[in-house]
């Protein structure tokens, strides 16, 4: 599990097919094989550790559902190690399981903030609530407005400075993870309507 508070940025190094290698700008102390690290919000398992960074295997499903497959050599990514019991949760609880990708469609400066509009797939927009939580590229953010096919967030200077959000431009593809509670509530309600899994629940509803 993660909190959406980015610990450091990382740089993508040359990689073999099906593998990503990342060099954190601030080294992770005592990083071990088998640990989970969120890379732009995608939970990956550390496969090997070197002096400068780590490598993780990325399966085809992950490449298809997230933006990791489109990262170029030298790309900058958000990094967060998995939470430990007792850690401070400054954002919101996240699984690192990306639901889909969105596209930045507008940017607007507003005093010390930057408003960002993100176009969102139809199957996700109903799971996003005004003033609710959402993870965008692994960053825990508060939703400002929700529209028919998009939502907005407002970014403070520190977020722009220490995450990849500062480099978002119109057309940038971003990873989206909706709030876990919204995801499971929707799944349960759909099941009761007979439109999803749990046929027993659908019959009883």
Question: Residue 22 belongs to what domain range?
Answer: 8-81
Structural domain includes residue 75: yes
- 80: exposed, middle or buried (C-beta count within 10 Å: 0-12, 13-18, 19+)? buried
One domain for residues 127 and 60: no
One domain for residues 167 and 124: yes
Structural domain includes residue 3: no
Structural domain includes residue 87: no
One domain for residues 182 and 120: yes
Q: What is the pLDDT of residue 66?
A: 97
One domain for residues 104 and 75: no
One domain for residues 51 and 128: no
The CATH number assigned to the domain holding 16 equals 2.40.30.20
Provide the percentage of residues in the chain whose pLDDT is more than 90: 75
Structural domain includes residue 169: yes
What are residue 103's DSSP bridge partners?
A: 119, 173
One domain for residues 58 and 114: no
Structural domain includes residue 94: no
pLDDT in tens, 19-62: 999 999 999 999 999 999 999 999 999 999 987 899 999 999 99
Structural domain includes residue 45: yes
Q: Report DSSP state, residue 71.
A: P
Q: Report DSSP state, residue 200.
A: H
Structural domain includes residue 93: no
One domain for residues 118 and 61: no
Contact 44, 114 (CB under 8 A): no
Contact 157, 136 (CB under 8 A): no
24, 152, 36: which is closest to 94 by C-alpha? 36
One domain for residues 115 and 67: no
Q: What is the pLDDT of residue 202?
A: 35
One domain for residues 49 and 116: no
pTM of the model: 0.88
Structural domain includes residue 116: yes
């Amino acid at each position: 599990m993660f909190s959406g508070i980015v610990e450091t940025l990382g740089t993508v190094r040359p990689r073999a097919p099906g593998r990503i290698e990342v060099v954190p700008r601030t080294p992770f102390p005592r990083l071990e094989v088998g640990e989970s690290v969120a890379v732009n919000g995608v939970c990956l398992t550390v496969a090997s550790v070197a002096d400068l960074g780590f490598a993780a295997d990325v399966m085809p499903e992950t490449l298809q559902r997230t933006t990791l497959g489109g990262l170029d050599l030298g790309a900058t990514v958000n990094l967060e190690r998995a939470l430990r019991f007792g850690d401070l949760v400054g954002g919101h609880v996240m699984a690192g399981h990306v639901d889909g990708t969105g596209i930045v469609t507008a940017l607007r400066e507003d005093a010390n903030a930057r408003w960002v509009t993100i176009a969102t797939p139809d199957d996700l927009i109903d799971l996003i609530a005004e003033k609710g939580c959402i993870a965008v590229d692994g960053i825990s953010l508060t939703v400002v407005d929700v529209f028919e096919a998009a939502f907005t967030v407002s970014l403070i200077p520190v977020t722009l400075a220490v995450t990849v959000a500062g480099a978002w431009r119109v057309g940038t593809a971003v990873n989206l993870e909706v709030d876990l509670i919204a995801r499971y509530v929707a799944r349960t309600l759909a099941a009761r309507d007979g439109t999803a899994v749990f046929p027993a629940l659908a019959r009883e509803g």
